[in-house]
Structure 1
Amino acid sequence: MSVLLACDFDAADWAAWRPALQAALPGERLLLPQDLAAQPALREDIDVAIVANPPPGLLAGLPRLGLIQSLWAGVDRLLADPTLPAEVPLARMVDPAMNTAMAETALWAVLTLHRHFHLYARQQRAGVWQALPQLRADEIKVAVLGQGQMGGTVMHALRQRGYRAAGWRRGEPLEPVLADCRIVINLLPLTADTRGLIDAAFLARLPARASLVNLARGAHLVEADLLAALDAGQIAHAVLDVFHQEPLPPTHRFWRHPAVTLLPHAAAQTDPRSAARIAAAGIRAWREGRTVPNQVERSRGY
């Protein structure tokens, strides 16, 4: 049997991923979509697909497909494909290295907002020498939306450094978590329930001059509502890594807004070296009849 690599990678990505996957799966025959186009009969041999934003419909014509292993932590794009085989188990990527990277970015964002480093950068450009008030970490409450692997790692990192971190899961009351918080970090999975969660009503629940850090999905945020809140001074600052349209269009207001710090979806990049080993372990578990780790519950969306 064979493994299909259905990944939307450019040449530089493949230069990193292909050797890592080959090293992690030494006994497997690895095929690409172009191999199937050249030899359609190869579709009969594929029983596992390793995917990263595969073209819609690609996995529908694989009669022996028994496992889909995603290289990404988020699977919302996969689940939005109506041709995705409903009966085939889907596993998402849960990589401790990626959790650590996300915690590093979240901690950087919190430190930047807490210690006003973004404002000092603005003062430097304006030639202003002025020290700003400095609070202690234990005077800063940080609300972390999402308590999965990444959310838990972020909570631990913040608490280690003295911040008052409060977590929130879907189904729990939101008001106690948002009350008195100075910074909100979004790490929720994107589902029908969380799409558009951060809207004008959500932002109005925050204390005046709180800040937002969105490291999850662009579709969680109603961008126009955030811009209105920033323009009004209701929200002090936003650190944004994800957007409705990526790359962010050059005309978007986020690029030039003085109260926005923008990242190019780089908060926690998947590391091919560790992710390839994790994907291979899941495939071995499936071939040996064991439970595949991190299987997606499609009804929940993650």
Structure 2
Amino acid sequence: MTREKKIYIAGHNGMVGSAIWRNLSSRGYTNLLGASSKELDLRDQNSVKDFFNEHKPDIVIDAAAKVGGILANNDFPYQFIMENMQIQNNLIDTALTSQVEKFIFLGSSCIYPKFAPQPLKEEYLLTDTLEPTNEWYAIAKITGVKTCQAIRKQYNKDYVSLMPTNLYGTHDNFDLKTSHVLPAMIRKFHEAKENNNASVTLWGSGTPMREFLFVDDMAEAVVFALENKLPDYLYNIGTGLDLTIKELAATIQKVVGHQGEIIWDDTKPDGTPRKLMDVSKMHELGWKHKINLETGIQKTYDWFLENEGKYKENKL
């Protein structure tokens, strides 16, 4: 893989896309290509074709998606299934017809069945029903995985799908209405600390177990897939380690320096009891995460503090 290859990162302004861009830049890749959503509407097939015809990328990394939490998935199921399929279908098909030599498709662990055995193995895909609260997004991502698999089978192209566990890190979303559990906790503990160490109320019992991967480790996995020809079509990306939500809260509380009480509101739902990825396939190939959870939370909190003004203006 030469450093002069033109690499298009779809979604390069997002948390994952920007981490991939930083990683490639630090390694000396000099021909990176990105376009904001204002510059290129990935839902529009003709616009995507025109973009590829103009820029002629050699490699495409698809880190673009319409994302949101349970509420958004529930309220806008059509947009979540249709817009995500439009984005990925336009990118995958245009890459194929434009003779793009390598395509890396990024998805989510939600593609696996709700009641699949733990830890989640790649072969559990399509073996049972999905989690109803995000099945629209999951189905879209599954079609992306299977489309890339079909291209590998029919055209022998190096198209591969990477499915990350719960991601967090710098450039995360800290809006309490739409953010995921880890960045939401960081903001809650921080604001409670600023408010004379007021108590913090968290949803559920704290007993469910979750796995978290720092976004820079995800970027490392993408670059690993870029620089190596992976023999299979689908790989889980995670730490292979999980912890309870109570343990997560205690770790974040320690990093933030909050000294107040944590109140668990067990009238609120817990969600799936456990969701752990089996990452043995990537470990066997030579990739493994490097950043432990406490270090990653500290890096994320440091970035949050540097950008505190943005979230106060409801822009973060």
Query: Do these two structures clear the TM 0.5 threshold for a shared fold by scoring above it?
Result: no
Normalised by the length of structure 1, the TM-score is 0.31
Q: Whose Rg is larger?
A: 1
